[in-house]
Amino acid sequence: MKVKGRLLVLMAVVIVTAACSDNNGDNDDYAWWQEERSLRMDALNTYLNENQAAFDSFRTAPLAIKHDLSNFVGYQMLIFRLLPELFPQYWGSEEEQFSRFGLGPDPFDSDSFLPLGFGLSLPEPGGIDPSVNYVTLSCMGCHTGGVVDNDGELIRMVGAPTPQTMFTAATQSTINDSAFTAANIQAAIEAKPLGWFYGFDPDYLDQEIKERELYKSTLLTEFFMSQISVPANAVKSVLASTVDQYTYNVPNPPLLSGMPGSIDVFSFSSASSASAAGLDTTTDPTLEEALPPAPAPADIASVWKMSDHYRYQWDFGIVNLYYREIAASLTVSGGDPQAVNMDNALTAAPFTDGLPAYPYPFDVSENLYMRGEAIFQQACATCHFAGNTAVVDPVEVGTSPNRAIVLTDFAESALIAQLREACVGEPECYQSDGAPYPDDEIMDPPGAYAQLPLNGIWASAPYLHNGSVPTLYHLLTGDRPETFYRGNFSYDQKYVGFVWEKAVDTDRALLFDTRKDGYSNSGHTGLVYNGGYDWSEDPDALWDLLEYLKTL
């Protein structure tokens, strides 16, 4: 996909202009933040422009690449483009561009024929015949959050967590719909003008002509359809026989399909590895021993200034930045190491190392900020600082332990093996002398939670590792709602988090119920985790701190 050379700079201007539309622009108490925010936006845009090749990869490169006929990765381009037209009840309209999945039109390339968060890959030459393009998620599929500003404009934030819902349910609905037939797909392709599928880009015209010709064969069309239905049904079958039977067989299980911005990645990975190994209840380890003991949903995290992180993931479980990128790609490749797009993984790692956080797009009071900075140093800074190596036991902090204990010995070993296989021959995956890293320098989960830096914390709502607390106000006070909505882009400027009391984005927002296993909103409360502050005794200090946190 081509990226227009000057478009990024132009988009930067548009975004800064939208972000600076404040209600209190004439108030001197807020003028300082308008200036500071503008400086930070300049720094962010400069970073993106100076690293444009890496940014383009982060934005448009597929995380996984199809490498043979039996490797089921992504959707064929022509079928993918037709999903909104043939099945709008599952995918939304063409104009929505998958916004119900937290994505939408690509604001960085107005000519893009793919929604934001997707990448296009042509199979390796000679690897597949017939050769068609496939579409899979890019890095920005999970790391391009959004917030609605005071003018009602949606700002997309590179590196922020996306309130993405997985496509499993939509895919299952599609393949089981009576309209999912070769005849309907062929008719829809025939009805489109030549060039439509690739946005009338002349560079793709020959490719589109070739692909259209292939779909004239009903047999090939049915084969392409099977490349979607077979893996979808296989995943459903694996989950039904593994985590459904054991990990999620609890009194109050969470949604296996996940919430917007949250998914139980390691349970899925464990299920896939256990199934591939042929484990059953008589083997050693048994299937039950290999799978996670309880549901472990966890939020998609931001990837801002990863250089400030000692290690990676919510538990510091992955030691090496490159292996972190590869682990993310494995979730899209279905656990197939050979399908991982290593070029992108090796590019995205250093890009996120220095990526600045998106600055808070609303007003910040200078007076409150200055008071809040001192409170932050006492209440938060002793744990949440760049490079902190400490982890905290879930029993001590009081949060749900499920994510901390998700990786069994079997699952950890299986994932390390996949990471090693994906990395064969890549210098970045080896020590400086060329020797392989030992296992504990690839993964070393401590069974505890990291104390992470708070870059862009305002945009990381909801809070805790499982996203069970909607705003920073609720996190600090401990006064937490039992249920709330996740998936909105509208922002609660007072409590500091996304709107949580109602479903503003009704096609995406879902009700989060903290009574479900793995969704607990307990922990990180009391004087110890608030630097000795009792906010009920000093409410002004609470609001001062919240104002300061907006600026991180």
The string of DSSP letters for 100-115 reads GGT--S-TT-TT-SS-
pLDDT score at 2: 35
pLDDT tens string 282-330: 998 999 999 999 999 999 999 999 999 999 999 999 999 999 999 999 9
- pLDDT above 90 as % of the chain: 85
pLDDT tens string 304-314: 999 999 999 99
Mean pLDDT of the chain: 91
Residue 392: phi, psi to the nearest 5?
-125, 135
As beta bridge partners, residue 449 has 392
Q: Who wins on pLDDT, 106 or 16?
A: 106
pLDDT score at 129: 55
In the chain, count of helices (H) and strands (E)? 18, 13
479 pLDDT higher than 60: yes
Angle at CA of residue 109, ends 104 and 111, nearest 5° = 90
pLDDT score at 300: 96
Q: How far is CA 191 from CA 18, 185, 223, in A?
A: 39, 10, 21
E strand or H helix that includes residue 512: strand 510-513
Structure tokens at 225: 């359809």
pLDDT score at 126: 46
Determine the Cα–Cα distance for residues 272 and 533; give it in Å rounded to an integer: 46
Determine the Cα–Cα distance for residues 305 and 308; give it in Å rounded to an integer: 6
- pLDDT above 70 as % of the chain: 93
- Fill in the DSSP letter of residue 64: B
Residue indicated by tokens 């069974």 = 447
122 pLDDT higher than 90: no
8 pLDDT higher than 90: no
User: How would residue 541 be classed by pLDDT, with cut points 50, 70 and 90?
Assistant: very high
Residue 218: phi, psi to the nearest 5?
-65, -40
Exposure b/e, 477-496, CB count within 10 A at least 16 = b:
bbebbeebbbbbbbbbbebb
Q: How many CA atoms does the CB half-sphere of 205 hold within 13 Å?
A: 7
pLDDT tens string 253-268: 998 888 999 999 999 9
pLDDT score at 121: 83
User: How would residue 17 be classed by pLDDT, with cut points 50, 70 and 90?
Assistant: very low
Determine the Cα–Cα distance for residues 239 and 262; give it in Å rounded to an integer: 17
pLDDT score at 72: 73
19 pLDDT higher than 50: no
16 pLDDT higher than 50: no
489 pLDDT higher than 60: yes
7 pLDDT higher than 90: no
124 pLDDT higher than 70: no
pLDDT score at 166: 76
pLDDT tens string 220-247: 999 999 999 998 999 999 999 999 999 9
Q: What is the mean pLDDT of residues 192-215?
A: 94
pLDDT score at 334: 86
pLDDT score at 296: 96
The three state secondary structure string of 330-383 is HHHCCCCHHHECHHHHHHHHHHHHHCCCCCCCCCCCHHHHHHHHHHHHHHCCCC
pLDDT tens string 492-538: 999 999 999 999 999 999 999 999 999 999 999 999 999 999 999 99
Work out whether strand 391-392 and strand 491-492 pair parallel, antiparallel, or are unpaired. Answer: unpaired
pLDDT score at 73: 83
Q: Who wins on pLDDT, 1 or 88?
A: 88
pLDDT score at 131: 78
pLDDT tens string 36-75: 999 999 999 999 999 999 999 999 999 998 777 667 788 9
185: left (phi over 0), alpha (psi -120 to 50) or beta: alpha
Who contacts 329 (Cβ-Cβ below 8 Å, separation ≥6)?
63, 64, 340, 341, 344, 345, 422
User: How would residue 27 be classed by pLDDT, with cut points 50, 70 and 90?
Assistant: confident
Least confidently predicted of 21-25, 462-466, 474-478: 21-25
Exposure b/e, 255-278, CB count within 10 A at least 16 = b:
bbbbbbbbbbbbbbbbbbbbbeee
